[in-house]
Amino acid sequence: MLATLIGMAAIIAVGLFWRILLGGKDAEIIRGYLAQTVYAIFLPALVLHVMWQTPVDLDALRVPVVAAIGVLLSLLLAALIYGNGQRVGGRKAVGALLLAAAFGNVTYLGLPVLSQTFGTWSQSVAISYDLFANTPLLFTVGVMLAGHFGHAKKVAHPIIELLRVPALWAALGGLLLSLFGVAMPVWLDTSLGVLGAAVVPLMLLSIGMALGWQSGWLRRVPLLLPVVVIQLILMPLIVWAACIGVGMPAKLLAPVVIEGAMPCMVLGLVVCDRFRLDASLYAEAVTLTTVLAMISLPLWLKLVG
């Protein structure tokens, strides 16, 4: 995994340097278009391609159940630590920190890590983990928390927001096609494969362009330490225990635990911006956990693999 992470870190670094060269505002505009293209076109193509070829069995339920346990218990731990925000700089800060502690980067980083480490068969683990647990919880529980600690002029109902996720429909469609044994046409197999191949490099570039620090970041590091501990240490432990509890097959154990050990979710920046939470603090959490994950992920693989 170390060689894989070094290669991915190089692509992330390209995105970071691109952000620095372009400047903050221009980089955010480009990153927004890049992320939206992956979100609306390339990722749904990959999801449909993978899930269409994934057998529908009990494991399709085990993975999201374990993921949901990891997210909800991590969110509870973060809520107990950060409280009402009086000690961390106000409600906007605590809202951002709760999101950072609970939701991992299980697709943008998790999918390439799993596919490069375990093989393309493990892509279905990352997709199930995210689209059937992580993302639904972000757009329901996460959005409600963001609305409680922040504010927005006009926001759609959380369920409406969830139904607008293209990759979710692609995953459901792929599972139905797999369940009924519909054969994938050769031309569509080729098209989806070409589109899906663009996901990993574009995701990694997008992560690099999302990283950043604001002035005075050093004094905010203590605020971020609980997020680091929860995301990189406690959540994978929770996920590991949950895997044992649901009888996760040995083949899936390591990929699922590695998913639980991912750093903070980049998509959370969108939620922070929409609800006027402390997006700068959230971005620093993404940066810190992403850098440290390059050390912690190989250790977790050694432990669980």
Residue range 218-247, pLDDT digits in tens? 777 888 999 999 999 999 999 999 999 999
Tell me the whole-structure pTM to 2 decimals: 0.89
Residue 264 φ/ψ, nearest 5 degrees = -60, 145
Mean pLDDT, rounded, of the chain? 90
More confident residue, 64 or 29: 64
The pLDDT score that the predictor gives to residue 24 is 66
CA distance linking residue 217 with residue 196, whole number of Å: 37
Burial code of 208-219, b = ≥16 C-beta within 10 A, e = fewer?
A: bbbbbeeeebee
The pLDDT score that the predictor gives to residue 269 is 85
The pLDDT score that the predictor gives to residue 41 is 94
Within 8 A by CB and 6+ apart from 85, the residues are: 91, 92, 93, 94, 95, 149
Q: Which amino acid is at 266?
A: V
Number of domains comprising the chain: 1
Q: Which one-letter DSSP state was computed for residue 39?
A: I
Within 8 A by CB and 6+ apart from 241, the residues are: none
At 171-222, the pLDDT tens digits run 999 999 999 999 999 999 999 999 999 988 988 888 888 877 666 667 778 8
Per-residue pLDDT at 299 exceeds 80: yes
Per-residue pLDDT at 294 exceeds 80: yes
CA distance linking residue 134 with residue 122, whole number of Å: 17
Share of the chain above pLDDT 70, in %: 94
Share of the chain above pLDDT 90, in %: 58
Report DSSP letters for 171-196, one per residue. Answer: HHHHHHHHHTTPPPPHHHHHHHHHHH
- Grouping H, G, I as helix, E, B as strand and the rest as coil, residue 212 is coil
Of 277, 281, 274, the residue nearest 212 (C-alpha): 281
The pLDDT score that the predictor gives to residue 141 is 93
Per-residue pLDDT at 146 exceeds 70: yes
Alpha helix (H) residue ranges in 83-152:
91-102, 110-118, 123-129, 135-137, 143-149
The lowest-confidence range among 3-7, 10-14, 179-183 is: 3-7
At 98-143, the pLDDT tens digits run 999 999 999 989 999 999 999 999 999 999 999 999 999 999 999 8
At 51-83, the pLDDT tens digits run 999 988 888 899 999 999 999 999 999 999 987
Share in percent of the chain as helix, strand, coil (round to 5): 80, 0, 20
- Grouping H, G, I as helix, E, B as strand and the rest as coil, residue 264 is strand
Per-residue pLDDT at 164 exceeds 80: yes
Question: Hey, what are 255's tokens?
Answer: 């990929």
CB 254 within 8 A of CB 301: yes
Per-residue pLDDT at 86 exceeds 70: no
Q: Which amino acid is at 305?
A: G
List strand residue ranges (DSSP E) for the chain, in order.
none
Range of the domain at 153: 2-304
Domain of residue 252, CATH code: 1.20.1530
The pLDDT score that the predictor gives to residue 172 is 94
